[in-house]
Structure 1
Amino acid sequence: MAAEPVNEPIQLRPDQQPFHEGEMTLLEHLRELRTRVLICAVAVVLGMLLCVVFWETIVGWLIAPARAEIPDFRLTVFSPTETIALMFKIGMYGGLMLASPVVLYEILAFIVPGLTPRERKLVLPGTIGVVGFLIAGMAFAYWIILPASLGFLLNFGGDNFDQKIGVKQYFDFAIRIIFWVGVSFELPMVLTLLAKLRVVRAKQLLGFWRYAIVIIFIVAAIVTPTPDPLTQSLVAGPLLGLYVLGIGLAWVVQPKRPKPEAAP
C-alpha cells in the first residue's frame, strides 16, 4: 500500500510573517493599552484647552464666510449661557481635531507589532492619506461649500426678511458642513481598505459606476443643507473624482489573483 501523504505546514514568506519582537503577556498588553489611552486623553485635553483660549479667534474664522456675503453680519444670542456653551463646543470639536494625529498614531503604534512586514509598509502611507483627505475635505468645505451655501441662504428672499440667526443654529450649520464634507473625502481610503481586505476589486468598482453616481448625489444632498442643485453639485463633483481615484488605489493594493495552472 502506498504511504499516505504527510500534510506539511504552510511556510510563510518573510514578508508574510507577523512581527514578534519581544512577546508580551496579556497583562503587559493591557498596561500598554492603558498608557496609550492616557496619552490620547492628555492630547485631547491639551487641544481643548488651546481651543478654549483662542475660541473667539475660531469664532471669527467661522463667521468670516457669512460676513463676506453680509459685511455687518452678526449672530443673535437667545440665552445668557449660549456663548459659554459655544465656547465649550468649540473646545471639544477643536480639541478632537488637534489631537487626532496623536490618537491615530497611538492606535497604529498599538496594532503595528502584530502586522506583517508588508502590512506595516502600508501604515505610514495610509495614515498620511487619512489625515490628508480629511484636511482637504474640511478646507474644501470651508472655502467653497460654506460660502456657496451661505450665499444662497442669506440672500434668499431679498429684503423681505430681517434675518436673526442664533449662535447655536449658525455654528451647528457650519460645523455640520465642515465635518461631514471632510468625512466624505475619505472615500478613496475606504475603497482602498475594502480592496485590501478582498471585499471588492477594482473591476467591480468600475462596473458599479452608475450606482456610485446615484449614491454620491444622495450623500451630497444629505451633507449640504441647501436644496439648490449647484451646491450639491459642488460636493458631488469632487466625490466622483475621489471615487475614480479610489478605483485606482484599489487596483494598486488589491491582492493579485493566482494564475491558473496549465492543464497537463
Structure 2
Amino acid sequence: MGSAGALLSHSPPGLGGVPLPLRRHPLLRCAPLLPSAAPEPLRCRHGRHLRCAAADRETPVPAPQRDESPSGSLGAALEDPSPQPVQNGSFGGIAEDEEQSSLYNFLYPSKDLLPDDKEMSIFDHLEELRDRIFVSVLAVGAAIVGCFAYSKDLIRILEAPVSVQGVRFLQLSPGEFFFTTLKVSGYCGLLLGSPVILYEIIAFVLPGLTRDERKFLGPIVLGSSVLFYLGIFFSYTVLAPAALNFFVNYAEGAVESLWSIDQYFEFVLVLLFSTGLSFQVPVIQLLLGQVGLVSSDQMLSIWRYVVVGAVVAAAVLTPSTDPLTQMLLAGPLLGLYLGGAWMVRLTGR
C-alpha cells in the first residue's frame, strides 16, 4: 500500500474506462476491489474508527502488516486508543478518596440530605442577604439608642473596678466625655444586638445544611454564645481589676492617678471583647474536628506549642504590657484548648 495521499483507480461500468481518483482517509484502510466480487457491507470495530474490508468472497483478506515507521505508530495509536476509566470527573481512586473524606462530604452534601434545599438564583440570594443585613443593622441601632439613654449608668458600672482605689477621671478635651459615651453605647449595643445578628446568620445558612449538621449547629451556637459572655464576665471580674490594680499600685507614692476617661474606656472595652473572642477556641476546635481536618490526638500531640501560643496570644490580646494580665489570660486559653480537644475526642474524632 502507498502513503496516505496515494490514489486508487477504479473504473465502474458504463464510464468508458475513465479512472476516478478516490482519496483515502489516513484512518481508513481499504483493500483493493476485485471486479468479480461484490463489496461486503462495512464492518465497524471499537466504535471510533472504520476499517473496511471489501474483497472477493472466496479470497481471504490478508491481515494488515504493522508499519514500524513513526507515521504508522501514530496511526496505530489513533486506531487503538486505551482510555482510562473516568468516574465522577476524576481518574482512578482519587474520586473515591475524595467522596470518602469528611471534608468532601461537608462541601458537597447529597441533595437527599438537604430537607429545605431549593433552587435560587444569585440575585435571590443577594436580596435575602440584603434583607437580613438590614434587620441586623436595625436591631443593633435600636440597642445603641437604648444604651445611649442610659450611658451614664453604664459608665459608672465600668468605672467600678478602680473607683474604690481613689482613681479620678478627667476630661482632657472638649467633647471627650460625649464621644466616650457614644463609644460605650456602641459596644454595649453591639453586645445586646448580637443575638439578632446570630439568628439572621443561622436563618440564612440553614437551608444549605444537612440534618446531621443541623443537629450539630445547635450546640455550637449555644456553646459559642455562652463562652463569649463568659469571657466578658471573666474579663470584667478578674482580668480588668487585676490589670488596673497593678497599674495603680505601681504608681502609688510617686504620682497621683488621674486618668483620661477616653483612654480608660478604650482599655477596658478592648480587654472585654478580646477576652470574649479568645474564649471561642473550643468552638473552632469542634468545627475543625467535625470537618475532619484535625483529630483530637493531633491536638493533644502539640500541647507544647499550644502553651507558647497561648502566652503569645495573651500578650497580643491584652492592651496592657504587665505580665500578670497576660498570665491570667494565657491560663484560661490553655485550659479551653485542652477542654476543646477532650470534647472533640468525645465526638469520636
TM superposition score normalised by structure 2: 0.66
RMSD value, Cα: 2.5
* Structure 1 unmatched runs, 5+: 256-264
**Deviation of 1:129 (Å):** 1.0
Identical pairs, percent: 35
The residue identity in structure 1 corresponding to 2:219 is: P
**Deviation of 1:250 (Å):** 2.2
> Which residue in 2 is equivalent to 1:30?
126
1:86 and 2:86 aligned: no
Q: Distance in 2 between matches of 1:157 and 1:60?
A: 23
**Deviation of 1:164 (Å):** 1.9
- 1:197 is aligned, of 266, 291, 294, to 291
| 1:125 counterpart SS class | helix
- 1:18 is aligned, of 93, 107, 114, to 114
Q: Distance in 1 between matches of 2:241 and 2:303?
A: 30
1:45 and 2:155 aligned: no
> Which residue in 1 is equivalent to 2:281?
187
**Deviation of 1:113 (Å):** 0.4
The residue identity in structure 2 corresponding to 1:50 is: G
> Which residue in 2 is equivalent to 1:144?
238
The structure where helix makes up a greater share of residues is 1
TM-superposition CA deviations, 1:179-233 (whole Å, max 9, x none): 1111111111111112222221111110010000011011122233444433322
* Structure 2 unmatched runs, 5+: 1-83, 89-95, 100-104
User: 5 Å matches for 1:1-264?
Assistant: 17-68=113-164, 70=165, 72-253=166-347
CA 1:228–1:37: 2 relative to 1, 3 Å: closer
TM-superposition CA deviations, 1:146-178 (whole Å, max 9, x none): 111111101213221122211111011111111
TM superposition score normalised by structure 1: 0.86
- The answer to whether the Cα contact below 8 Å between 1:146 and 1:174 also exists between their aligned partners in 2 is yes
- The answer to whether the Cα contact below 8 Å between 1:15 and 1:118 also exists between their aligned partners in 2 is no
The residue identity in structure 2 corresponding to 1:160 is: A
| 1:156 counterpart SS class | helix
Rg larger in structure: 2
**Deviation of 1:19 (Å):** 3.1
Q: Distance in 2 between matches of 1:210 and 1:16?
A: 44
Q: Distance in 2 between matches of 1:225 and 1:95?
A: 22
The residue identity in structure 1 corresponding to 2:160 is: A
Aligned residues: 249
CA 1:228–1:88: 2 relative to 1, 3 Å: closer
The residue identity in structure 1 corresponding to 2:159 is: I
| 2:199 counterpart SS class | helix
Q: Distance in 1 between matches of 2:160 and 2:175?
A: 23
Q: Distance in 2 between matches of 1:110 and 1:120?
A: 13
Q: Distance in 2 between matches of 1:42 and 1:251?
A: 41
